[in-house]
Amino acid sequence: MKESVTQTRITPAPTTPVFCTIVPPHILGRLAESDDPAWHEPARRTLEHDALHRTRRTGLAAQARAPQEARAAADKPNRTVYDAGHQQDLPGTKVHSETDGPSKDASVNRAHAGLGATFELYLKVYGRKSIDGAGLPLDATVHYGEKYDNAFWDGQRMVFGDGDGRLFKDFTIPVDVIGHELTHGVTQYTANLDYQAQSGALNESISDVFGSLIKQYALNQTADQADWLIGADLLAPGVHGKALRSMKAPGTAYDDPQLGKDPQPATMAGYVQTADDNGGVHLNSGIPNHAFYIVASALGGKAWERAGQIWYDVLTGGHLAKNAQFADFANLTVQAAQTRYGASGAEHEAVVKAWSQVGVLGK
């Protein structure tokens, strides 16, 4: 029991995940809705157990800090899930709050668990209390629209469609998609990068980077164990592809008669000039995505530790301009690597090499 209390404290230094159930919650959520009792019974029990465990931990922590100020509550997420009921009015009807047990609705459970996984990474690894750094409650809306093929951040909450079932499955399924959306919130409260052209592609890339790190942290994977995919498990059966984006090999995530071919470039040689998609923010994000992958792979180990720390330092350091270009961001990561790990460290060298390899900085 003592250990549980210890786990709730902030440890800004890199740690191993507390979020350490062997099967990640988003998979549990899926198993829990399975028709086969062999799958759903144990999954539902585990979800219930986890909820109970959380409640106990909350109770203990509350006792431990009883006379202390209420600010300590920011060490825990305060999650609320709404159901849009297939309409498009936000936020929808409130269906789940922080202290509720598992819902019968797997989308609700996945959203709740994904918000928790995101909160956990930012708190345990970077010492950040929620997306604004001050314990902001985390809200999600599920079942937005009819067969709606998208998820987005509306400035206040993350919003998820069910997918049409033909091309895309439920957007709450991949935990990195949940992490991606909430990271738009972190960016909004920090560098607030303009969602246009290169600064927009950086905004997108930061969401992919931390979305992927949230998944890797939840699965306790090293850089070489991670799949570096965004939206794996999102493509419906029969679609030719692995995911929506690949940070390891941008441009190779899918090639399908319906979806077309993954159009992401990996280097500046393939930079796409377009007026669509706010200047190709979901296309050109492949370039900084790939740079992050190269840094994390060169350093090895847990990507959220050194590579993630460098990126986080730049995002939150106060020097990243709203309209930053790729080269501005790259130069700041070089400086951040030097400040944190020294000019002769492997980190500095890895960052310089990565940006050079993707054609953003000179050799």
Residues that bind other proteins (CB under 8 A): 88, 90, 146, 149-155, 159, 168, 171, 177, 180-181, 184, 195-196, 203-204, 207, 231, 244, 259-260, 263, 276-278, 280-283
* Cβ closest to other proteins, residue 28 vs residue 281: 281
Q: Decide whether 102 or 114 has the Cβ nearer to other proteins.
A: 114
CA–CA gap between residue 21 and residue 29 (Å, rounded) = 13
In the three-class reduction of DSSP (H, G, I as helix; E, B as strand; rest coil), residue 72 is classed as helix
Q: How near is the Cβ of 155 to other proteins at its closest, in Å?
A: 6
Q: What is the dihedral of CA 107, 250, 280, 350, to 10 degrees?
A: 110
Closest CA to 223 of 286, 308, 288: 308
Closer residue to other proteins, CB minimum distance, 98 or 262: 262
From 112, 282, 290, 348, active-site residue:
282
Would residue 181 show up in a list of annotated catalytic residues for this protein?
yes
CA-based radius of gyration for the chain: 20
- CA-CA distances (angstroms) from residue 169 to 83, 111, 163, 178, 220? 17, 14, 5, 14, 25
Q: Which of 98, 181, 204, 305 is catalytic?
A: 181
Q: Residue 74 or 201: which CB sits closer to other proteins? A: 201
Q: With CA atoms as reference, report the closest residue to 139 among 100, 181, 103, 180.
A: 181
CA distance linking residue 187 with residue 324, whole number of Å: 13
Decide if 112 is catalytic. Answer: no
Our CB check for other proteins shows the closer of 24 and 250 to be 250
CB of 113 to other proteins, least distance (A): 19
Q: Are 121 and 127 in contact (CB under 8 A)?
A: no
Q: By C-beta, is 202 or 334 nearer to other proteins?
A: 202
**Tokens representing residue 233 in the block:** 């498990």
Smallest distance from the beta carbon of 259 to other proteins, in angstroms?
6
One-character DSSP codes across 320-350: --TT--HHHHHHHHHHHHHHHH-TTSHHHHH
Least spacing, CB of residue 127 vs other proteins, in Å:
24
Q: How far apart are CA 21 and CA 17, in angstroms?
A: 10
Contact 183, 190 (CB under 8 A): no
Minimum gap (Å) between residue 83 Cβ and other proteins: 16
Smallest separation, CB 359 to other proteins (Å)? 21
Q: Which two tokens stand for residue 86?
A: 């297939």
**Gap between the Cα atoms of 115 and 296, Å rounded:** 24
Positions annotated as catalytic residues are 181, 282
